[in-house]
Amino acid sequence: MTTIRINPDSCIKCGKCTKVCPANIFEQEEKGYPITICKPEICIVCGHCLDVCPTGSIKHSEISADKVHPINYENMPSADQLMELIHARRSNRTMKGAPVPTDKLEKIVEAGRYAPTARNTRQVTITVINDPEKLKQVQEFTINTFGDMVKKLENPFVKLFMKATHPEYYDFIPAFYGMKKAYENGKDPILRNSSAIIAFTTPTDDFGEKDSNLAYQNASLMAQALGVSQVYLGFVSTAYAKGNQKRIKEILGVEGDIHALMGLGIPTMKYTNYTER
């Protein structure tokens, strides 16, 4: 059972914990009065109280003191620096195929883990796949899944109905054949020579997709800051949604729902400009 205690000798009764607690566990009758704890069992273990307390007076049974770290605001990027990073972030598909250093992968994953999640469930699992054989299997799975989809669309009976109801599906068919030809000629139109894939997964949950998208954005910005190319693997994601989901999960070694897939690699070049949007 969660227990939360306040050291009355060091607490300065500032009331900050009462303002930031999403579960309203901390109560204060008036400013300057002692802080009291109400229903600690509904705590979502977000750590807001520990992170806002200026005197370290709060003790939490689920979060040890060694997990609470001071923030050095002098290390924070300026607003202009952050905006420059955001302007520079692009889907850089010019990748060498060379491995992304392990320390950079770890930082990208850590950035994703620190994204906020609904109800502080922290349910997002971020999995790195960088085995060349598995990456090859992902390519083959994607090509084959799209091939099956196109084959169905080109069936005369299916085409009669789908052409009338979803004509936009047929706009993709020439692109698929171009993609397939490029793949057969040794190019990589699926992963764009990514040397690693990051999969964002959760158990089945209403907020799983939203939580994964927040984690993806954190990881994407960290990749940009580290000079690592990142691309959203839309073809693979679509193949997952339309194909044999069990098979792609086996290849990637993941469980639960796959909500996003990011390709990572070492860029062959850098963008020197950004275009206004």
Which pLDDT tens digit goes with each residue over 45-97? 999 999 999 999 999 999 999 999 999 999 999 999 999 999 999 999 999 99
State the greatest distance between any 2 C-alpha atoms of the chain, in Å, as a whole number.
81
Query: How many percent of the chain have pLDDT more than 90?
Result: 97
Average confidence score pLDDT of the chain: 96
pLDDT at 273 over 90: yes
Q: How many CA atoms lie within 13 A of 243 on its CB side?
A: 22
Q: What is the mean pLDDT of residues 8-22?
A: 97
The whole-number pLDDT of residue 251 equals: 98
Average pLDDT over residues 217-233: 98
> Rounded mean pLDDT of 141-154?
97
For 227-251, b where at least 16 C-beta lie within 10 A, e where not — what string? ebbbbebebbbebbeebeeeebbeb
d(CA 213, CA 189) in angstroms, rounded, equals 23
Q: How confident is the model at residue 204 (pLDDT cuts 50, 70, 90)?
A: confident
Q: Is 126 helix (H, G, I), strand (E, B) or coil?
A: strand
CATH code that applies to domain 4-67: 3.30.70.20
Mean pLDDT calculated for residue range 241-268: 97
Predicted TM-score (pTM) of this structure: 0.93
Alpha helix (H) ranges present in the chain? 16-20, 48-52, 79-88, 102-113, 132-153, 156-165, 173-184, 208-225, 234-242, 245-252
The CATH number given to 77-277 is 3.40.109.10
Asked whether the beta carbons of 119 and 207 are under 8 A apart, the reply is yes
Identity of the amino acid at 97: G
pLDDT at 159 over 80: yes
User: Where are the domain boundaries for CATH 3.40.109.10 in the chain?
Assistant: 77-277
The CATH 3.30.70.20 domain(s) of the chain lie at 4-67
| Per-residue model confidence (pLDDT) at position 149 | 95
Residue 30 has pLDDT above 90, yes or no: yes
Q: What is the mean pLDDT of residues 197-208?
A: 92
pLDDT at residue 205 tops 80: no
The pLDDT value given to residue 66: 97
Buried/exposed code over 202-218 (b: 16+ C-beta within 10 A; e: otherwise): beebeebeebbebbbeb
pLDDT value of position 187: 96
At 28 the pLDDT is 97
Tell me: pLDDT of 214 over 90: yes
Rounded Cα distance, 105 and 227, in Å: 12
Question: What angle separates helix 245-252 from helix 132-153, to the nearest 10 degrees?
Answer: 170
Cβ count near 1 (within 10 Å):
6
Q: How far, in Å, CA of 91 to CA of 84, rounded?
A: 16
Q: pLDDT at position 125, please?
A: 98
**Which residue's entry shows tokens 């992968």?**
105
Task: Please report the pLDDT score of residue 75 as a whole number.
Answer: 96
Helix (H, G, I), strand (E, B) or coil at 250: helix
